[in-house]
Chains A and B, each alone.
Chain A
Amino acid sequence: MKAMTRIFLYLALVIIAGVTLAPLLWMLSASFMPRGEASVFPPPLIPVTFTLEHYIDLFTRGNLARYLFNSAFLSVCVTIISLVINSMAGYAFAKYRFPGRDSVFKLLVSSMIIPAQVTMLPLFLMLNKMGFINTYMGVIIPGMAGIFGIFLIRQFAASIPDSLIEAARIDGAGDFKIYWSIILPLCKPILITLGIFTFMGTWNDFLWPLIVMTDDSMYTLPVALANLSLEHVQDTELMMAGSVMTVAPVLILFAAVQKYYISGIMAGSVKE
C-alpha cells in the first residue's frame, strides 16, 4: 500500500516537473535550430543541425547588447538606490519614536492595495514635464522607494535588540554611524532578499518601461522582445533566442541565490 502510494506520488511529481520544464527546455532547444526548422509537424524536440546564428544575429543586426545593458543598468540602479532609501526608512520606523510614527506607517501599508496602474498616467505627465521620458531616470525615479521594502526591513530591524544601539550610542557613535555600521550589517539577510526581489522585479517589468521608453535604444529586454515578437511573427527560432537571452540572466541569478529568494517569499507572507 505504502509502496503504491509512493509510486503514485513520484509519478505525479515527475509529470508536473515535466510540464513546468518542457516549455523552457523547448525554448532553449529551438533557439539553436536553423531558421524554419521548428515550424514542421511533428515539432522537433532537438535541433538536427545546431546553429548559433540567431544569437549572432541578435547581437550584430539587432541591438541586443544595448537592451542587455539597459536592463542590467536599470535593475542595478533601482536595486541599490531603493535598498538604501528603504532601509533608512525601515530602520527609522522600527527603532525611532516620534509623533505620528504608527499612523504614517499604517497609512503606507494600507496604501499597498492601490494598484500601480492608478499612478501611471499622472506619473507619465510629471516625468514628461521634468524631461525624463525616454531616459533612465524615467524608470529609476518611480522605483526609488517602495512600501513593501520598507515594511520588510522594518519587520526585520524590529528584532535587533535596543541594547546594541544604546551601547553604540554610549560609545559616541552618531545616528548615521549606527545605521551604517551596526544596522545595515545586521540586516544583511533581508537586504539580500529584498535586493533580489527588486532586481528581478525591475528586470521582468514590462508595462512601465513600455510606457516610458519610447526609443528603440532605450528599450529594456522585455520591451524589445515584445516588439520583436510582434514584428517578426514568423521567425520562431530568432524569437526563442531572444527569449533565452531575456530569461537566462534572471534564471542564473535565481539559481545562485534561490535560498534567499524563497525565504523572502515566506517572510513577505507572514504579515500582521
Chain B
Amino acid sequence: MGNRSHIRAALFFLAPALIAIGVFFFIPVIAAFVLSFTDFDIYSLANLEYARFTGFKNYTRIFDDPLFWKALKNTLYFLLIGGPLSVAVSLCAALLLNSRLIRFKTFFRLAYFTPVVTTLVAIAVVWRFVYHPRFGLLNYMLSWFGVSPVDWLGDPNWAMPAIILMAVWKNFGYNMIIFIAGLQNIPKELYEAASIDGASWWQQFRSITIPMLAPTTLFISIITMIGYFQLFAEPYVMTQGGPLNSTLSIVYYMYQMGFRWWNMGYSAALAFVLFALILIGSLIQSRIQKKTKIA
C-alpha cells in the first residue's frame, strides 16, 4: 500500500462531496458576499452588465430601512420570548418523562414528539383554524373560562404571540429528547447522596440537575436560537407578515426583497446581516455559559 495510492483513494472518496459542497455551498456564500455590494436587480438578471458595485450602500440602506428594523424587532421578539419558552417547556417535559414514578413513558414521549416530524406548512394551515376568531378551537376553549374571543392572527398585538405558541408546540419535543439524554447521563449517586443529606427536590434540581445539564442546555439554546432566527414558513402561511407587518421576519423580508422584487443585492446584504446576528448570538451564549461556569 503506497502512500500515493492511499491519498488517491482518499481523494476519490472525498471528491464528490467536496465538489458539491464547494460549488453549491462555498461559492454561493462568496458570491452572496460579492452580490451584497452590488445593485443587482431584475434588469441585471437579464444582463449581468447592468449590475454595478455600490460599495456599502446596501448595508447603509439597511440601517435606514424602517421595515428592516421592524423585521429585526419581530424576529428578536420571536427569538427572545419563544426560544427560552421552548427550552423551558422541553426541560419540564423531559423532567416529567424522566421521573421514576410514572409508566407509559414511551407513549407520552411519542405523543410529545409527533409535532416535530410533521410538516411545518401543514401545521401552520391547521393552526390558522385553531386561531380562527369565531370558529377556532382556542377561542372555544377560552370561552369556558369566560374569555371573550380574540382575533389571534388579525390583531397586531396577538399575531406574534400566536406564532410563538405554535412554534413552541411544534418544536419542544425535539429538545425534550436531548434533555432526556442529558438527564440520563447524570450519575444517580449524586441524587442518592443528596437525598441522604435531606435535600429537597427543588434543592437537588438547583444544585445537581441544572449544573450537570449546563452543556446540554448550551447546545440546545444555540441550536434553538439558530432555528428561531430563520422564522419564515409560519408568517408566510398564517399572516403573510401582517397585520401591519407585526410578523414580518428577517428571512421573510429577505425572501420578499430577493424573490418577489428581485432586489438581489439588497437581499444578499440582508442575508449577511442575518448571518452576523446568528454568529454574534452564538458567541454571546457561549460566553455567558463560560462565565457562569467560573462563578
Contacts and interface: CB of A to CB of B under 8 A. Distances in A.
Interface stretch (B61-69, B74-82, B174-182, B186-194): B174-182
B147 interface: no
A247 B122 CA distance: 7
B119 A250 contact: yes
Interface string A64-94: 0000000000000000000011101101110
Interface in B112-164: 112-115, 117-123, 125-130, 132, 134-137, 140, 143
Interface size class on chain A is: 35 or more
Contacts of B220: 269
A254 B117 contact: yes
Interface stretch (A12-20, A52-60, A186-194): A12-20
Interface string A139-158: 00110110100100000000
Contacts of A27: 122, 126
Given A117-B274, A150-B17, 10 more contacts: A23-B127, A26-B130, A98-B10, A111-B26, A123-B28, A126-B31, A142-B24, A176-B9, A223-B121, A247-B123
A251 B28 contact: no
A195 interface: no
14 contacts: A9-B96, A13-B97, A17-B111, A21-B114, A38-B135, A96-B6, A104-B18, A117-B274, A121-B35, A121-B271, A175-B9, A176-B9, A222-B233, A229-B128
A222 B135 CA distance: 24
B283 to A, nearest CB: 10
Contacts of A108: 21
Contacts of B35: 121-122
9 tightest Cβ-Cβ pairs between the two chains A and B: A89-B17, A122-B31, A119-B28, A96-B10, A92-B13, A175-B9, A243-B122, A222-B121, A145-B20
A3 to B, nearest CB: 9
Most chain B CB within 10 A, of A121, A203, A223, is at: A121
B104 to A, nearest CB: 8
Interface of A: 2, 5-6, 9-10, 12-13, 16-17, 19-24, 26-27, 30, 38-43, 84-86, 88-89, 91-93, 96-99, 101, 104, 108, 111, 113-115, 117-126, 128, 141-142, 144-145, 147, 150, 169, 175-176, 179, 200, 203-204, 206-207, 211, 221-223, 225-226, 229-230, 236, 239-240, 242-244, 246-247, 250-251, 254, 258, 261-262, 265-266, 269-271
A230 B282 CA distance: 35
B2 interface: no
A131 to B, nearest CB: 15
Given A117-B271, A122-B32, A145-B20, A97 B6 contact: yes
Contacts of A91: 13
Contacts, number: 266
B292 interface: no
B48 to A, nearest CB: 9
A121 B106 CA distance: 43
Contact of A114 (B114, B122, B140, B275): B275
A21 to B, nearest CB: 6
Contact of B258 (A120, A176, A251): A120
B108 A17 contact: yes
A247 B114 CA distance: 10
Contacts of A250: 117-119
A141 B126 CA distance: 31
Given A38-B135, A150-B17, A16 B93 contact: yes
A206 B117 contact: no
A121 B33 CA distance: 10
B109 to A, nearest CB: 8
A88 B125 contact: no
Nearest to A31: B126
Contact of A225 (B125, B181, B240, B258): B125
Most chain A CB within 10 A, of B24, B255, B264, is at: B24
Contacts of A222: 119-122, 233
A230 B124 CA distance: 12
B271 A41 contact: no
A223 B120 CA distance: 11
